[in-house]
Structures are given as structure tokens and as C-alpha cells.
Structure 1
Amino acid sequence: MFASRKFLTAGGFFSFFIFGFMDNLKGPLLPEILRAETLNYSQGGTIVLSGYLGFIAATLLTGVMADWLGSRGVLLSAGLSLLLGVAALSFSGANFGAILASMGMIGFGLGAIEVGGNSLMVELYTVNRARYLNLLATCHGVGSLLVPLYAATLVTWEFSWQDIYGCSLGLVVILPTIFCLSQLSSHTPSEPDSKAPSGTAAGRWSWQETLRIGFSPRMGWYYVLLASYVAVELGLAAWLVEYLHQNRDMTVAHASLYLSGFFVMLMLGRLLGSFAVERIGYFRMVGLALGGGSLCIAAGLFGSDRWIGALPLSGFFLSIVFPTVTASVSKLYQQNIGSLLGLLFTAAGIGGALGSWSVGVIGNSQGLQAGMAVTLAYCLLGLLALYVLSRWRGDSPAAEPV
């Protein structure tokens, strides 16, 4: 039972719900942390950075772990890291170093979920893989939408930020429990009507093959494609409220509704796109997504006030890019797929950092309107990478994922 495909699929979906929930809990609680511990903005940024560094470290390390131990072992490790990090944070008090270490541990757990959850869907589903990867990402959106309500409610009840993190332990502990039970079986079921991926099983990992494929020109363009998308998404998510407040004269509360709408559109796009992506094709779907997202961003930035709603609407189009690119890579390269996904998600993390940073830097010198327009440049870069990949005819180890 605990190793059945349905149980593991539900466990994978739950892991991404936890991912979205815990990843976005720091946002509404950061003001509380700064106020309660009398920290400045620079220290607050360092707290966020520590979680980000833990995430990047996890995507690099757990990709190899997925090939050696299997995706369930990675998700078990992720759950334990997250559990320890949240527990330590709940008792960290005013110790700034302890807060940083705890956030880094939480970030490591979240990065491991990113790799382990996607690897698990790749192992379980060789047919309709993009559909399940999009549904997986939808669960992240559900967690992201619920966490502001959770945090705001407990803040209203005058819970401390440590207690709010502590209350989430009851949810977090479920994750390692699920995959501890699943480890009772050594077999990961895949679809009976398809050939199981040959490189996802533990013990088949090859360092030479990982280097050959992972640093090939073709994978390089996949890195550019995914990094460009994440730069757009996180650039918009980080600066949308400030842009609407400063450039469109909205209140922060009103502008925050647009940000919530952006996340709602991300979730809906992944949910609905999951039923269309296999019919339309991976590259065509990504092209439509980047094209539609670019038009929405341009209309929202350069149109009149009545077009401002196009900015959150861009999330509907952009939403499907990440899981569909992941599905495309997993279809092309079946051997050492955990390691390759780790490298792919590391590129995504770098893109996210560059996206929010470049919007801020250009916005500081040229104005936030120009800074937000940088996201359009990233969209064009992503479309360029997609064009190169769609025309690729060399070193193909599998059918073209179009």
C-alpha cells in the first residue's frame, strides 16, 4: 500500500503543497521577525539569502542523491531537513546566527523537495508526464495561497513568529512520515504500459555521463530557457507590489491583491494546462506561454490603467513553462535524470536571483518602469533558447519532445 503508485503520487503532491506553504511563510513573517528581534533590512535580506543558499546547495547535491538513493530517499531527507529546520527556528530566539542556520536548513529541505518531487513524477509516469508535473506544481500554488491566511490569522491572535513556525510542525512532520513508510518497499512502480526510465533507479549513476550530458550545448540552452522563465516570474513577484504602489498610485493593500491574483493565475494555468500540454506538444506550449506572457506584461506596463490587470494575467500563461521544460528534459535524457534535474533547477535558482536583482538595479537607476521591462528581455531570451532547441538536430538520445 505505502509503495503503490497512488500513494506515492499523493505523497509527491503533498510534498509540493508543503513546499509552497513553507517557502512563502517567510514573506508575511519577515516584518514580524525584524520587529521582534530588532533587525534591520540588511539583516532581513541576509535571512532570505541564507534560505536561498540552502536551496541552491540542495539542488546540486540531491540530484545525485536521487540517482543513488531514489527520489523517495531524497524526499525523506527533505522532510527530515525541513522538520529539523522548522523546529530549530521555533526555538532560535534572538540569536541571529541560529536564525540563519535554521533558514538555511529549511531552504535545503525545500530544494530537496524540488528535485525529489519532480524526480518522483518522472519515475512514476512515462505517459502523460507533463500533466502530472503540472499538477505537482499546482499543489505548490495551493500551499502558496493558503499560507498568507494562516500567517495573518495567527498574527492577529498575537502569536509570536516562532510560535507560528512551531504550529506548522504538525503539517511538516507528515512529509517524512509518508516517505519513511514508503521506504518499506524497494520498488517504485511505473506505468505498466510504458518502459520505465532507465536512469532513475539507484545504482545506475555515472559521473562521466552526467558531465557529458549535463554540460552539453543542448542542456545549456535548456538552462537558459528555464533560467529566463524563472527570472520573469520572480522578477514580477518581487517587484509587482512596489511597482503598482509607486508608479500606479495604488495602496499597498490594493497592490497586494494584484500579487495574489498573479499567484492564482499561476495555479489555474498549471491546473488547466496539465490537460492540454500532451496534446499541444511541449515546445509549442512553452512558446505560446512565453508569447502570451510577454504580451500581457507589455500591455500591463505600457498600456493605460485599464490594462493593468494584464500583469497578474501573465501568470496564467507563464505558469506552465517550468513543469513542461522539466518534462521535456526528462523525456530526452532518461539516464542520470536526478542529477540532470538538479543541474536544471540550479540554473533556475540562478535565474530567479538574477531576475529580481536586475529589476531592482535597473529600477534604481532608470526608474521602476524600466526595471520591470527587463522581464520582457528575459521573455525574449527564453524564446530564443526555445527556438534553438526546437531546431536542434544533434546528439539526440530520444524522440524530439515537441
Structure 2
Amino acid sequence: MQNSSKIKKLAHPKWNYFILLLVVFGGFLIFGFSENIKGPAIPRMQSEFQLDEMQLGLLLAFNSLGYLIACSFTGILSSRIGVKWTGILAFSSMAISGILMYLSTNYAFLSASYFLMYIGNGMLEIGLAIMAARIFTKNTGTMMNLSHFFYGLSSTVAPIIASSMMGWNVFGGELGWRGMYLIMLSLSLLPIIPSVIGKFPGDEQMAGERIPLKHFFKDKIAWLIVAVLSFGVVSEMAVGGWLVYYLEKAYGWSIDSASSMLSIFFLFFMLSRLFVGPITDRIGYTVSIMLFSAFSGICTLIAIFVGQKGAILFAVAGIGIAPIYPTVMALLAKRYPSSTDSAITFTVTLMGIASVIGNLLIGVIIDGVRSLFQGYGEADSSIIGLQAGYGFIGFLALLCSATCVILYLYLRRRNELV
């Protein structure tokens, strides 16, 4: 009798919702850890396997390839086996990749293990987005931003934790990068417990007729959403790769000072996702994206023009860029309620391709502008190149806003504003 009452209690909608929150929030925490513990580990991997920069670049390229491949099939997989088992499969593959990385004896083994981890990461990102879209039918913008707050939280502390763990003394020896990856990726098993217990909203509960994936290729609005997300996410991700470099090279800051500014950026970024969600629900998703991305772009460009005195604006820009991704996910959930999995798969896969191109463009712009001004005998050509490259990051945020204006007008004309 006691067991049956416990089962009934877990089956209650409120308890089930709480269980699903554990899966989604816990999943985003794991996702942030798995993606951001590599920073301190890569130099040690390079030293152990004696890898050159080309091999490291190839290793990271395999990551991107695995991620994109997973993004392309996860939506279809979730419609076949259900989002519940898709999530369990993603968590399991990440845990298995941790074991394989611990056992890796050469570069090829390591690359294959990394590839599997990023297959899991890609599946997890799409799977969590689909889960969240189906679970958070009310206050969608608030809950999407709150979910992604947990990703930001774990991303912020992941490098610190990873660096500390690698120095732990275990059984008379150093834990190292292998043990660190084994432990951190084994945490992926924890969300499987509530996943098994919880009852997930399925395709049968999605109102309306399902839209086939090929339809999105003909949908102008779908392409506009892809453009909005791509511009916003490239601008967001580029900060992590280029801010410290810019502050060091353009202003002569120390690595500690520049890293501190990046930490402040992530602090603003996290807090924005924690508190901005209710605003997006109140004023609308398209208007929110339009305003916040414009704010981020303006802050970035002003920081460049003002110079060192305005450097804090690089960090403040995180307030504007943080809500873009989760708010676009909320937009997709509301616009395509019966085919959210297909919409997310289409949008995120193309965004991933655009992200690769966008990050390459920043480097090309820096080198190109530097070379151009060197040809004209400009003494500060390297700084001008850096300003042009980082300015492109701010310009992308403004492009995100401008594209959202077009999307807003298009949706308003059709009386379909979200």
C-alpha cells in the first residue's frame, strides 16, 4: 500500500512537473560542465600525446562535426522514440564518452571519445530544447531563460572546478585530465533517474497538425528566425573567444585583468537570464529580441570607440545578448506548437553552421584590416584590425536586432505576432 501511494504521489501533475524540472535544469547544468571543462584539460592532453596545433584544431573540428550531426538527427529521433528516451540516450552517451576518454591511449582513441561526447552534447541541446518547449507551456520566456541560466552557471564555474580537480591526489597519484573527465561526465547519469520516473508530454499532446521538416525550407519566417538566432549566438559566443585577446592586445591589459572582465561579462550574462525572462513574456518575444540585441550591439560599439575608460561596457553587453537564444526557443515553441522538434532541429542546425562561418569571419576581418592599413603605412594597424574584428561582434548584435525588426513587421502584417 505504501509503494502504491508513493507511485500515485509521483504521478501527480505537480510532482511530475517538479521531476521534469530536475531533468531540464540538471541537464543544462551537465551541458554547461561538459562543454566548458576542456579549457584547463587541453594543454595537458597536448603535453601527454605530444600534439601540435594542427592536431588540436582537428580535435576541436571533430567536436563541431559531431555536434552538428547530432543536431541534424535528434529531432527525428525524438519523434520516433520519444523525447524521454532521447534524453536518456544523450546522458548515457556522454557518460560512456567519459569512460572512453579515461581509457584513451592515443590521439585517434581520444578523438573518437571526444566525437562521441559532442554527439551527446548535440543530442542533449536539441533534446532539452524540445523538453522545455513541451513542459513550459506557460510563462515560456521566463522558464526558457531560467533553464539557460543553469547552463550559464555551470559554464562559469566549470573551468575553475576542472582545474582544481585535475590536481587532486587520488590513490597516491594526481587525478589528472582523465580522472576529471571521468568524474564530471559521470554526473550525466544523475538526470537519468528523474528521467525514468517522470512522465514527459509526448507528441500525442501537441495540438495541431505536424509540419514536415522540408516545409521549413520554404518558410520565410523560419529563415528569418534562423538569421536572428545565428547573428545573436555568433555575437554571444565570440565574446568568450575574443574579449580577453582584445583587452590584452589593444589595451595592454594583463591576462588576469582581461580574464576578470570576461568573468564580469558572464556574471551579467547569468543574471540577465535569471531576471529578464518575465520581461520577454510581458512585451513579446520578437520585441524583446529586437531591444536586447540592439542594446548589446550599442554597448559593444561604444566600448570600442571610448577605449579603456569604456571597457566595462564590453561586460554590460552581456545583459543584452544573454536572452537571445532562450527567447528564440520560446518563440519557436509558441509559433510551431505541434512541430517544435522539427523547428528546433532546423533552426539550431543551421545556426551551428553559421556559427562556424561567423567565427572564421572575425579572424579574417582582423587580419584583413590589419594588412590593409599596414599597406597604407598606418602605425597602429594591429589595433585597428582588432577594433574592426571586435566591432564585427557588435555589428552582428545590431544585425540580429535589424533582422528581428523585419521579422516583427512580417509577423504583424500577418497578425501572427508572438
1:342-353 alignment to 2 at 5 Å? Answer: 342-353=345-356
The equivalent position to 1:43 in structure 2, one of 52, 55, 68, is 55
1:78-117 alignment to 2 at 5 Å? Answer: 78-93=90-105, 95-117=106-128
Tell me whether 8-17 or 349-358 shows the greater mean CA deviation: 349-358
Unaligned runs of 5+ in 2: 1-9, 169-173, 370-384
| Counterpart Cα distance in 2 of 1:215 and 1:71 | 26
Return the offset for 1:307.
Answer: 0.6
Question: What does residue 238 of structure 1 align with?
Answer: 241
| Counterpart Cα distance in 2 of 1:302 and 1:166 | 46
1:1-400 alignment to 2 at 5 Å? Answer: 1=10, 4-93=16-105, 95-157=106-168, 158-182=174-198, 185=199, 188=201, 197-198=206-207, 209-366=212-369, 367-393=385-411, 399-400=416-417
Unaligned runs of 5+ in 1: none
Letter in 1 for 2:201: T
Number of residue equivalences: 386
Return the offset for 1:49.
Answer: 1.5
Secondary structure of the structure 2 residue equivalent to 1:4 = helix
TM-score, structure 2 as length reference: 0.87
TM-score, structure 1 as length reference: 0.90
Return the offset for 1:69.
Answer: 2.7
Letter in 1 for 2:16: S
Secondary structure of the structure 2 residue equivalent to 1:21 = helix
Identity %: 24
| Counterpart Cα distance in 2 of 1:45 and 1:265 | 30
8 Å CA contact 1:355, 1:375 repeated in 2: no
Structure showing the higher helix proportion among its residues: 2
8 Å CA contact 1:360, 1:368 repeated in 2: no
Across the aligned residues of Structure 1 and Structure 2, the Cα RMSD in angstroms comes to: 2.2
8 Å CA contact 2:321, 2:397 repeated in 1: no
| Counterpart Cα distance in 2 of 1:85 and 1:215 | 38
Q: Structure 1 residues 233, 169: closer, same or farther in 2, change over 3 A?
A: closer
Secondary structure of the structure 2 residue equivalent to 1:151 = helix
| Counterpart Cα distance in 1 of 2:157 and 2:194 | 22
Secondary structure of the structure 1 residue equivalent to 2:278 = coil
Residues 211-254 of structure 1 deviation map (CA, whole Å, 9 limit, x = unaligned) = 11354111011111100011101122111111111111011222
| Counterpart Cα distance in 2 of 1:9 and 1:189 | 16
| Counterpart Cα distance in 1 of 2:322 and 2:84 | 26
Letter in 1 for 2:261: Y
8 Å CA contact 1:235, 1:352 repeated in 2: no
8 Å CA contact 2:247, 2:258 repeated in 1: yes
Secondary structure of the structure 2 residue equivalent to 1:283 = helix
Return the offset for 1:393.
Answer: 4.6
